[in-house]
Amino acid sequence: MIDIYQINPGLWMILAGLICALVPKGDAFAMVRKAFIIGAPIFAGVMITQIYTSQEVLAGQINIGGLELTTLRIDNLSMVWGYLFCLIAVINGIYGFHEKCRITDSSALIYAGAAIAGVLSGDLLTLFLFWELTAISSVFLIWKGGQRAYAAGVRYLALHVLSGVLLLAGAIFYAQSNGGDYSFNDIGIDSLGGWLILIAIGIKCGFPFLHMWMQDAYPKASITGTVILSAFTTKMAIYALARGYVGVDILIYIGAIMTCFPVFFALIENDLRRVLAFSLNNQLGFMVCGIGIGTELALNGVVGQVFVHVIFKSLLFMSIGAVMYRVGTAKASELGGLFRSMPITAVFCLIGAGSIAAFPLLAAFVTKAMIISAVIYEASYDPSLYVIAAMLLFASAGVMEHSGIKVPYFTFFSHDSGRRVKEAPWNMLVAMGLAALLCIVLAFPWGGYQMLYSLMPYEANYQPYTVDHVVFQLQLLFAAISAFCVLKKFKLYPAEKRGEILDFDWTYRKFGLGIMQWIGAMWTRLSVQTTRLRERAIEGAGRRLFHIFSPAGAMSESAPSGLAAVLTAAMLIIVLIFVYFVR
């Protein structure tokens, strides 16, 4: 008898995804798939609730080839990610309700299921399995973006499979240095395995120079696909960091850089889905930095930030996706004035923008402050961390620029593009409404953010709604908006222009490709020469063999009987020696 409480809840979603893949096409069957899309994450969430008992639960142990695997671990850390992924999978399911696509439905379920199973896995090998499954299942969401998304999907897959390979190699090295123990706990960077796993995670969560897949693939995926993609992969990587690399100093600096560099790219990027992908990268920086700080306050901030970030980032992607669905583009240069046609979407987008910018009473106000405060508190022991705190404040102004102002302003306000379209479909509005409601509720001073605190791994005593915090945060935000208005008034704010912004992926998409093409051309030239030499050599060898073995050759000439006897005796000796030793 199978005990369903021993089964990783993510597997139920993967199973639902596989069933969806087998459900025939057609409108009637599409409703069956939609029932799975919304029902499966709810079921998985219920299973997590049933299994988790406020203590760490280890279950689903299996032995494969002498390796003891723990396929299910639910504790106060993995539980948060598990619930979050179930919640956002339901919201995404509602958002994509209008889309009658079997591939999207099944890959979305398998992808979300793999992410849930990954964060609920108790050892590195199980994590590796679901790590790769997230990559393989999610690439279909990118390819649903059409022909122009194909190459981006291949690049995405290549990098993520590489990440998986590094994770596996790291796990093996780590286990070797750890007495063969594959359990996924604190790893650190004291061993080669630890470094390899860190790089594997770094690819997935967009460390500098490893981040390009995000801005390359996400804007090219289908509308629903981008929303789904934004929720899982990177947050799964943040979970892995929070599990294995708490307090690793290098993460403070990596995180701080991650918060700052995407700000500049987002500024000059015209495609708003790509702007949001840069913004995603920037927000991940706050989380990485918090994990590097590693104090209880910082980790609570990271967990809270992950939770609200998934919601408000999805909300922003959903609102731009709704615009794209109606208008046909997400390019800022082609949009503007859409509040006249899509006022409800505009309000939801503004709530998402306010949340990411950390306005009081909106989502990130509580959680981002926890991370920045944790850095400032630690800086009282290590003054060099004031530089990091300053970088985070700088990045906060940057967030206000690209997500707080640019995205809603150029989409819904700015100049009137003259487009008069319908409001978003009802299901998109419901999904955005739910996300917007959560953005407000989870920052509400009276019983709201306390719900978020109840999910945090440590007891949270941080008071976000103090006068000084509200006042200084509003100083920053009002100043940033004032700067925008001043720069706009004096025509110093750059106009949105169509174009391709070069990023680090240029190194392999252009430079690397150029080098490979050059090597290919050289190889072709070289092979012409080598073919000629080879042909000559073969021809020469053939001619010599002919001279020796042909009927007119040297070997056909009659030999003296004495020489023949010696040769025969020599061959006999060789055979005898061979037989003697082989026996």
Partner 1 sequence: MTDINEPEALSRKELEERQNAHPFAVPFLWLGNQKVIDNFIWLPVLGMIAMIALGIVFPQAKPAPWDAIPGSWALIGFVAYSFIVLCAKPLTALLARDESYYGEGGLADPEYSTDPDITGEAHHD
Site residues (CB under 8 A) for partner 1, limited to 235-264 = 263-264
Interaction of residue 147 with partner 1, rule CB under 8 A: yes
User: Which one of 25-33, 436-444, 485-493, 562-570 is the stretch in contact with partner 1 (CB under 8 A)?
Assistant: 485-493
Residue 569 CB neighbour total at 10 angstroms = 10
Nearest approach in angstroms of CB 5 to partner 1 is 45
261, 317, 339, 365: residue in contact with partner 1 (rule CB under 8 A)? 339
Contact of 268 with 260, CB cutoff 8 Å: no
User: Which one of 16-24, 27-35, 78-86, 382-390 is the stretch in contact with partner 1 (CB under 8 A)?
Assistant: 382-390
Nearest approach in angstroms of CB 171 to partner 1 is 35
User: Which one of 305-313, 417-425, 454-462, 557-565 is the stretch in contact with partner 1 (CB under 8 A)?
Assistant: 417-425
> What are the start-end ranges of the H helices in 328-383?
343-356, 364-379
User: Which one of 70-78, 233-241, 285-293, 388-396 is the stretch in contact with partner 1 (CB under 8 A)?
Assistant: 388-396
Query: Which of residues 486 and 564 has its CB atom nearest to partner 1 in the complex?
Result: 486
Backbone angles phi, psi at 474, to 5 degrees: -70, -30
Instruction: Extract the tokens encoding 180.
Output: 């063969």
- Lookup result for tokens 């199980």: 126
Contact of 111 with 141, CB cutoff 8 Å: yes
Contact of 221 with 144, CB cutoff 8 Å: yes
Interaction of residue 553 with partner 1, rule CB under 8 A: no
Nearest to 252 by CA among 60, 347, 384: 384
Interaction of residue 551 with partner 1, rule CB under 8 A: no
Interaction of residue 560 with partner 1, rule CB under 8 A: no
* Rounded Cα distance, 330 and 272, in Å: 6
Overall residue count recorded for the chain in this entry: 583
Contact of 295 with 377, CB cutoff 8 Å: yes
User: Which one of 5-13, 70-78, 454-462, 470-478 is the stretch in contact with partner 1 (CB under 8 A)?
Assistant: 470-478
Interaction of residue 455 with partner 1, rule CB under 8 A: no
25, 498, 536, 547: residue in contact with partner 1 (rule CB under 8 A)? 498
User: What's the farthest any 2 CA atoms get from each other in the chain?
Assistant: 116
Instruction: Extract the tokens encoding 424.
Output: 């978003």
Nearest approach in angstroms of CB 401 to partner 1 is 6
Interaction of residue 342 with partner 1, rule CB under 8 A: yes
**Alpha-carbon torsion 273, 276, 278, 281, what sign?**
negative
Instruction: Extract the tokens encoding 209.
Output: 């120079």
User: Which one of 26-34, 193-201, 231-239, 384-392 is the stretch in contact with partner 1 (CB under 8 A)?
Assistant: 384-392
Interaction of residue 484 with partner 1, rule CB under 8 A: yes
204, 243, 331, 368: residue in contact with partner 1 (rule CB under 8 A)? 331
Query: Which of residues 38 and 344 has its CB atom nearest to partner 1 in the complex?
Result: 344
- Lookup result for tokens 């509720």: 441
146, 180, 512, 514: residue in contact with partner 1 (rule CB under 8 A)? 146
Query: Which of residues 71 and 226 has its CB atom nearest to partner 1 in the complex?
Result: 226
Interaction of residue 195 with partner 1, rule CB under 8 A: no
* Rounded Cα distance, 260 and 504, in Å: 15
> Who contacts 303 (Cβ-Cβ below 8 Å, separation ≥6)?
77, 80, 242, 455, 456, 457
Nearest approach in angstroms of CB 372 to partner 1 is 10
Nearest approach in angstroms of CB 318 to partner 1 is 17
What is the distance of C-alpha 515 from the center of its chain?
28
Interaction of residue 327 with partner 1, rule CB under 8 A: yes
* Rounded Cα distance, 320 and 411, in Å: 8
Interaction of residue 517 with partner 1, rule CB under 8 A: no
42, 165, 169, 390: residue in contact with partner 1 (rule CB under 8 A)? 390
- Lookup result for tokens 């999610």: 138
Query: Which of residues 268 and 554 has its CB atom nearest to partner 1 in the complex?
Result: 268
Interaction of residue 33 with partner 1, rule CB under 8 A: no
Q: What single string gives the DSSP state of each residue in 111-171?
A: HHHHHHHHHT--BHHHHHHHHHHHHHHHHHHHHTT-GGGHHHHHHHHHHHHHHHHHHHHHH
Number of residues in contact with partner 1 under rule CB under 8 A: 91
209, 394, 523, 546: residue in contact with partner 1 (rule CB under 8 A)? 394
3-state secondary structure of 253: helix
Nearest approach in angstroms of CB 386 to partner 1 is 6
3-state secondary structure of 327: helix
Beta bridge partners of 58: 73
Query: Which of residues 123 and 496 has its CB atom nearest to partner 1 in the complex?
Result: 496
Interaction of residue 471 with partner 1, rule CB under 8 A: yes
Site for partner 1 in 260-319 (CB under 8 A): 263-265, 267-268, 271, 273-274
Query: Which of residues 145 and 194 has its CB atom nearest to partner 1 in the complex?
Result: 145
Interaction of residue 547 with partner 1, rule CB under 8 A: no
Query: Which of residues 471 and 526 has its CB atom nearest to partner 1 in the complex?
Result: 471
Burial of residue 382, with CB atoms counted within 10 A of its CB: 0-12 exposed, 13-18 middle, 19 or more buried: exposed
Query: Which of residues 415 and 583 has its CB atom nearest to partner 1 in the complex?
Result: 415
Interaction of residue 219 with partner 1, rule CB under 8 A: yes
